[in-house]
Amino acid sequence: MTLRPETIAVHAGRTDFAALGVHAAPIDLSSTNPLPDIEHGGDSYESMATGGHPLAGGGNVYARLWNPTVARFEEALAELEHADAAVAFGSGMAALTAAILSHTTAVGKPHIVAVRPLYGGTDHLLDSGLLGAETTFCAPGEVAASIRPETGLVVLETPANPTLDLVDIAEVVAQAGVVPVLVDNTFATPLLQNPLDLGAAMSMHSATKYIGGHGDVIAGVIACSEQTAEALRRVRAITGALLHPLGAYLLHRGLATLPIRLERQQATAQTIAEWLSTQDGVLEVFYPGMRDGERALLARQMRGSGAMIAVRLRGGFEAASALTSGVELFTHAVSLGGVDSLIQHPAALTHRPVAAEARPGADIVRLSIGLEHPDDLIDDLTQALHKAAAAAATSVAGTTAAR
């Protein structure tokens, strides 16, 4: 039977529940596990420490190497992403770190090509060279020209953070040739986009966001082939970056409601994006499908526009500051993808460490749309935009007077 994503989200990763006699996912909090004997326990340890699975009769040995609660979430996410496997980590940045290490310095290819814009933490890590790899940043059409013999990885994000730029995954994969491509799929989720179907080697999520969906867990996960998963698990075991089982439980539970949450969030975001485009205080709305030339790629690559919006405000930083402090229903906070709506200023926060030439403008504000009624969110933005307009006018008046 071929199941649709909404059904997979509810049932994936639960195949052993009947045998266990449970209906809700069990949480295994064991830090260590009994060993059958030295030989079998040692063989199982060796298998997991090198990126494999626990051996039958050998035991899980130690939680840094393997946890069944985490494994069930991984199985479910992999099925949604049309992947052979998935590997979960304690954060999205830990997942990215494992991908970089396993594909660059660990295999003697210490060069990365990265398509901007990217999440600020990703950009900062790549730019820092902290993990021993050099990064060439480029535009989507410059990937092929940026590849070197020592290039081990191409990194992109689509829709990109914070301005929702769309990147043609299949085109970048074609330019990359034999070099593996990692796609940050956080904004789209597996329900709206499956990068592996378009040739990418890895689809990465900050699972903290839409997959968890309630702002109460930090996690990262990468969907990929089993061969790639072995390399990622080896790094995870060595660096101790395993996701805590309680976090895995929350993520597995979150997957079940992801389809209905995202459907509602996306519908509300579409309404708000269209409304924002009519407001005098808004110079530009960034939302997939609203910019010229995006619709064909959106239709070919995604199954919807998602629930993230960014706006460029008339009045610059002063307007942005007034808007973020003036909302009453939106929460002024970083992160995204939860049931409540959030607003934040990327240049001052999530993208603060990004090099000046790639940092978002000070007039840009990012919105994560939650499950509230769209009319209530619009009412809140209306009064906050009035405050933003007043702040911008005061700033202009003050500048004029000073002259």
Residues 316 and 391 both lie in one domain: yes
Comparing 81-85, 145-149, 240-244, 293-297, the range with the smallest average pLDDT is 293-297
The pLDDT of residue 293 is 86
27 domain residue, yes or no: yes
Bridge partners of 137, per DSSP, are 114
169 domain residue, yes or no: no
Domains in the chain, number: 2
Q: In angstroms, rounded to a whole number, what is the distance separating the alpha carbons of residues 207 and 247? A: 10
Comparing 139-148, 157-166, 294-303, 354-363, the range with the smallest average pLDDT is 354-363
Q: Average per-residue pLDDT in the chain?
A: 95
What percent of the chain clears pLDDT 70, i.e. is strictly above it? 98
Residues 251 and 295 both lie in one domain: no
Residues 93 and 20 both lie in one domain: yes
Cα-flanking dihedrals φ and ψ of residue 249, to 5°? Answer: -60, -45
Q: Which CATH number fits the domain that encloses residue 315?
A: 3.90.1150.10
Q: In angstroms, rounded to a whole number, what is the distance separating the alpha carbons of residues 128 and 353? A: 10
Task: Provide the 10 A C-beta neighbour count for residue 20.
Answer: 11
Residues 293 and 364 both lie in one domain: yes
The pLDDT of residue 401 is 53
280 SS3 class: coil
Residues 313 and 369 both lie in one domain: yes
Residues 186 and 97 both lie in one domain: yes
**Mind telling me the catalytic residues?**
64, 119, 184, 209
Is a pLDDT exceeding 80 seen at residue 399?
Answer: no
Is a pLDDT exceeding 80 seen at residue 87?
Answer: yes
Under 8 Å between Cβ of 168 and 297: yes
Residues 226 and 299 both lie in one domain: no
Is a pLDDT exceeding 70 seen at residue 395?
Answer: no
The pLDDT of residue 119 is 96
> How much is the average pLDDT of 92-102?
98
pLDDT digits (tens, 9 = 90+) for 46-77: 999 999 999 998 889 999 999 999 999 999 99
The pLDDT of residue 182 is 99
218 domain residue, yes or no: yes
Which among 223, 255, 287 is the end of a domain? 255
128 domain residue, yes or no: no
pLDDT digits (tens, 9 = 90+) for 109-166: 999 999 999 999 999 999 999 999 999 999 999 999 999 999 999 999 999 999 999 9
Which among 196, 225, 255 is the end of a domain? 255
Under 8 Å between Cβ of 209 and 337: yes
The pLDDT of residue 250 is 98
Alpha helix positions (H), 87-188:
92-103, 120-128, 143-146, 169-176
Is a pLDDT exceeding 70 seen at residue 322?
Answer: yes
Domain of 36, in residue numbers: 5-111+174-255
Q: In angstroms, rounded to a whole number, what is the distance separating the alpha carbons of residues 172 and 180? A: 10
Residues 288 and 248 both lie in one domain: no
Confidence of residue 353 (pLDDT cuts 50, 70, 90): confident
Question: How does DSSP assign 301-361, residue by residue?
Answer: H-SS--SEEEEEETTHHHHHHHHHHH-SSSEE-S---SSS-EEE-GGGTTTTTS-GGGSPP
Residues 26 and 97 both lie in one domain: yes
Tokens describing residue 379: 């009412």
